[in-house]
Amino acid sequence: MDTLSLLLDDIRLSGARFKRVELQPPWKMALHMPGVASFHVVTSGSCVLAREGEANLKIQTGDVIILPRGPAHWMSDSDDSMRTCPALDLKQHLDPQETGGLQTLSVFSQPQLADRLVSGYFEFDSDLARPLISALPSLIHYRATDSETPDWLHFGLMFLETEISTQRTAQQAVINRIADILLIQCLRDYVDNLPEGSGNWLLALKDPALSAALSAMHKNPERAWTVPQLAGIACMSRSSFANRFGKVLGEPPWSYLTAHRMRLAAWQLRHSNQPIWHIAEQFGYQSDAAFSQAFRRIHDCAPSRYRELSRLSDSPR
């Protein structure tokens, strides 16, 4: 499995939470999903995107926008509506408990005048995804009218429009897979077009030597990887590998591996009842003390305290 696929496995990507939105002008809606990538696909009509500190952006039919870090943003039919209309909070309508196929949020008296979007957010673990998401731009915008827009986007949007046009069995599952493919293709396209010297650690995914070493660490994070072992996988000398790894990823291999292990361990602490000693063993630590020390350096608290705090934050208010 290639490195980007392993990274996507690590973040627990599992589709999307979304609404089909049909709004007649004048309208305005807001969405804020901190740390989670939100998206909008305009299937009919046009609208305006507003973000704090940024100029308004016109979005046309067939356009796709992804905001990887889920910042507060607003969509409206026009600049005037952006200034004057009260905002509908889309997050309140993205109910994870809803069942029964694709849900539509409709506010119109004349259907032919409504702007139509598919809007929501991708479902993944925001803590595990933090290194990946932080390496992406604040906005990814694919324009349907751009001659350089990839063919996969045109085909994907045609498929999406066909799927949402009528209620069908397994519709949610199909659209989840479309959402997965949309995000993966956008990530792949972004990585493929990264310029050399950009200082973005995702350049390592385009480097066959570094990518091979990263794949090994992500496949087997519990192994006590050494620089000579990883250099051998990369088919490089020890010094050349260590220098290239540090230059592209901004840290030495052992630091990268430790941070990755601790993110995985934190996920286990939040989502399982496994004893801490067992989690420590899963990620290559032979003693609770060594594991706790490494965990504290990354998360500023002991594993037991981290688990306690995470359960308090998840408990009903």
For the chain, the domains span 3-192, 203-314
Q: Which of 280, 224, 290, 285 is nearest to 253 (CA)?
A: 224
Joined together, the tokens standing for residue 218 give: 């992500």
Which residues make beta-bridge pairs with 31? 73
Give dist(CA 3, CA 18) in Å, integer: 28
On whether the 3-192 domain is CATH 2.40.50.1020, my answer is no
Position 316 scores a pLDDT of 47
Residue ranges in the chain modelled with pLDDT below 70: 95-103, 314-317
Element (H, E) at 7: helix 3-10
**Residue 88, φ and ψ in degrees, nearest 5:** -80, 130
Position 95 scores a pLDDT of 65
Whether the predicted model's global pTM rises above the 0.85 cut: yes
Query: Tens digit of pLDDT for each residue in 52-95?
Result: 999 999 999 999 999 999 999 999 999 999 999 999 999 988 86
Instruction: Specify the length of the chain in residues.
Output: 317
225 three-class SS:
coil
Position 148 scores a pLDDT of 78
Joined together, the tokens standing for residue 107 give: 């506010």
Which CATH code of 1.20.1300.10, 3.40.50.300, 3.30.460.80, 1.10.10.60 fits the domain covering 203-314? 1.10.10.60
Give dist(CA 83, CA 245) in Å, integer: 48
Position 15 scores a pLDDT of 80
Q: Percentage helix, strand, coil, to 5, in the chain?
A: 45, 15, 35
Cβ 11 vs Cβ 124: under 8 Å: yes
- In terms of DSSP H, where are the helices of 11-93? 79-84
